[in-house]
């Protein structure tokens, strides 16, 4: 047999083995944020709907740690996280929301259907704040200390298993 025929087969077997090895390795879902330890940008967002206050930097620099939740009424994972945000609120967490590229009537309908865990909700029509704080999408939740500094970032929807973690991070941010 000609040895030149074995070269492509050997290369194929090598890549097949490499691919198989990668599939057996644990998946690392942690994405380190470059914003941890940095202050929120200065912002002043208008209310997302009538009857609520908007959101601004000063709300996060009052000495009390808070959660900043980036969300949208058109976001399906935001529906899934709604009961867990409510649980955080019931356990004493203050949550300020930022609605991304939304309409006041859609925000109101979403909150009427799924509950309102927010003390304030700002409207970010251009995703400017979302981009400035390094948010990669919706939903995303940040722990902000009482000086307005980002201390923790939770990417994706908040699930039941995340509630104690966020409460612990809030507690750490309050020290």
pTM: 0.82
Q: Are strands 55-56 and 66-71 parallel, antiparallel or unpaired?
A: unpaired
Of 114, 95, 116, the C-alpha closest to 166 is 95
Model confidence pLDDT, tens digit, residues 78-133: 999 999 999 999 999 999 999 999 999 999 999 999 999 999 999 999 999 999 99
The string of pLDDT tens digits covering residues 31-54 is 566 789 999 999 999 999 999 999
| Structure confidence by residue, pLDDT tens digits, 60-72 | 999 999 999 999 9
């Amino acid at each position: 047999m000609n040895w030149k025929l074995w070269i492509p087969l050997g290369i194929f077997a090598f890549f097949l083995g490499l691919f198989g090895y990668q599939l057996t390795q644990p998946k690392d879902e942690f994405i380190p944020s470059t914003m941890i330890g940095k202050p929120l940008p200065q912002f002043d967002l208008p209310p997302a709907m009538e009857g609520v206050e908007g959101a601004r930097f000063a709300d996060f620099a009052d000495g009390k740690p808070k959660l900043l939740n980036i969300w949208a009424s058109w976001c399906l994972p935001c529906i899934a996280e709604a009961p867990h945000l409510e649980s955080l609120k019931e356990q004493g967490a203050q949550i300020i929301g930022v609605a991304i590229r939304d309409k006041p009537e859609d925000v109101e309908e979403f909150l009427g259907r799924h509950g309102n865990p927010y003390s304030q909700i700002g409207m970010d029509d251009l995703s400017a704040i979302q981009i400035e704080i390094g948010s990669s999408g919706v939903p995303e939740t940040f722990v902000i200390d009482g000086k307005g500094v980002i201390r923790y970032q939770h990417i994706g929807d908040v699930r039941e298993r995340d509630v104690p973690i966020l409460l612990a991070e809030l507690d750490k941010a309050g020290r």
